Amino acid sequence: MDHPPALTTGTTPHRPAGPRTLHRFANPGRFLRATARVMPFLWGASILVLGVGLAWGLWFSPPDWQQGETVRIMYVHVPMAWLAMGGYTGLAVLSVMSLIWRHPLADLTARELSPVGAAATALCLVTGSLWGKPMWGTWWVWDARLTSVLVLFFLWLGHAALVRAFDDAERGARAGAILALVGIVNVPIVKFSVDWWNTLHQPASVTRLDAPGMHVDILYPLLTCALGFTLLFGTVVLARTRAAVMERRVRALQFARARREDAVPA
């Protein structure tokens, strides 16, 4: 059956020593109770912040002096790029927790994170192509930044497929964790590709050490959109993880009932 022991019995089995805070929510009941309190606030904050950011950026912010109205694509494209890289970094952290501390919720969260991360990366690629056509005159170029983001997209898809490819959930989680840790080397390549190679993609204009390379009338709605998308990203992953925990608990109860029925003599 596809269920780790810690999520079927409601207790936390012995596992290698690690930070105690990492194991507080290994108990599925405690995790569900704690997250149930914050989920309404997370959904509300996500919708509110993202609604303000998108309205600000798409309707009330000024056009760019070079890009014109095309700059509005950036209010989706840039946050998706950040989430693609930041989300994969989070996937690598979850993979470390899985491999070292055998944290069962790390396995489940990683499993539910990869489809959301793949969706964010796909949106990054699509919006980048929409921006590239009027700016570069082409939908796609095989430069370092675009190619490394495409590789990141395939890594997300590979993880999502690999963790679901085994009948044994723990084997799938271990395989996915190894893939995530191998693939993390691509994240700095994505980040620094515009600095290491000559590419059509513009260099970083927000995360610069001296000062952002854009006017505050564009920067502030961009950061608001980024916060809103980040809240939504995390809320969706948390909701998917909660659903996966509840599904496995139901399956565990069904499995236990079936075993009791089989043990009763006819």
Q: Express each pLDDT in 126-158 by its tens digit.
A: 999 998 888 888 888 888 889 999 999 999 999
- pLDDT, mean of residues 226-242: 96
pLDDT given for residue 213 in this prediction: 60
> Using one digit for the tens of pLDDT, what is the confidence trace for 112-134?
999 999 999 999 999 999 988 88
Helical ranges in the chain per DSSP H: 5-8, 20-23, 28-55, 74-101, 104-136, 144-162, 169-183, 186-196, 216-263
In the numeric block, which tokens belong to residue 232? 């939504």
Confidence of residue 265 (pLDDT cuts 50, 70, 90): low
pLDDT given for residue 153 in this prediction: 97
Residue 68 forms beta bridges with which residues?
Answer: 64
Does 163 map to a domain? yes
In sequence order, which residues have a C-beta less than 8 Å from that of residue 98 and are 6 or more positions away?
Answer: 106, 107, 110, 173, 174, 177
> Using one digit for the tens of pLDDT, what is the confidence trace for 173-205?
999 999 999 999 999 999 887 766 666 566 665
In sequence order, which residues have a C-beta less than 8 Å from that of residue 187 and are 6 or more positions away?
Answer: 85, 88, 89, 152
Does 30 map to a domain? no
Return d(Cα 194, Cα 202) in angstroms, integer: 7
Instruction: Provide the residue range defining the domain that includes 90.
Output: 36-205+215-260
Does 28 map to a domain? no
> Using one digit for the tens of pLDDT, what is the confidence trace for 93-115?
999 998 998 878 899 999 999 99
Between 171 and 66, whose confidence is greater? 171
**pTM beyond cutoff 0.85:** no
Structural domains in the chain (count): 1
Contact at 8 Å (CB) between 39 and 239? Answer: yes
- pLDDT, mean of residues 1-20: 44
Distance of CA 33 to the CA centre of its chain: 23
Residue 226, domain CATH:
1.20.120
Return d(Cα 145, Cα 175) in angstroms, integer: 27
Does 175 map to a domain? yes
